[in-house]
Amino acid sequence: MNVLIIFVVLVITTAGHVDCRLGVGQMNVKTTTVHVENDLKVDTVLTLHCRSTNNDIGEKTMHSGQIVEWSFQAISGGTTLYSCDIKWNNVQHKFVIYDSTKDEATCTSKCMREISPDGVYFFNEFKNTWEKRITWN
């Protein structure tokens, strides 16, 4: 009988603790997909290598018009950052392709990018426009 009473007290105490933790400070986690298209001239092969602190998507070879996508769990208001190295012909660049502190204002779950000969374009789904954020020197 004493074991049953102790068990019931533990269950009630633990259940109350779990309810409090879930109700206060709950994080808003969402799945975000980054969509990158090779928008270079026909027959231009692009090598793309993107990574965050926790995730390396590996090196991808993209022919003209091809798309690479990856998804991750992002905490709303967090600091998720993906940077990329790209190469084509004799051209090389490194840049940030996703920064949650900026991109939460322009895309919700699918963040589209186009790599072109003059820079990188980011799609703003709220304005329904492409914005050139990165220019090659």
- Give pLDDT tens digits for 53-90: 999 999 999 999 999 999 998 877 788 999 999 999 99
Q: Where are the domains of the chain?
A: 29-135
Lookup result for tokens 């019931």? 8
pLDDT at 19: 36
- Asked if pLDDT for residue 23 goes beyond 70, the answer is no
- Give pLDDT tens digits for 90-100: 999 999 999 99
The pTM of the full predicted model, rounded to 2 decimals, is 0.77
Give the pair of three-digit tokens for residue 11.
């269950």
Q: For domain 29-135, say whether CATH 2.60.40 is its number.
A: yes
E strand or H helix that includes residue 13: helix 2-23
Greatest extent of the chain over all pairs of C-alpha atoms, in Å: 79
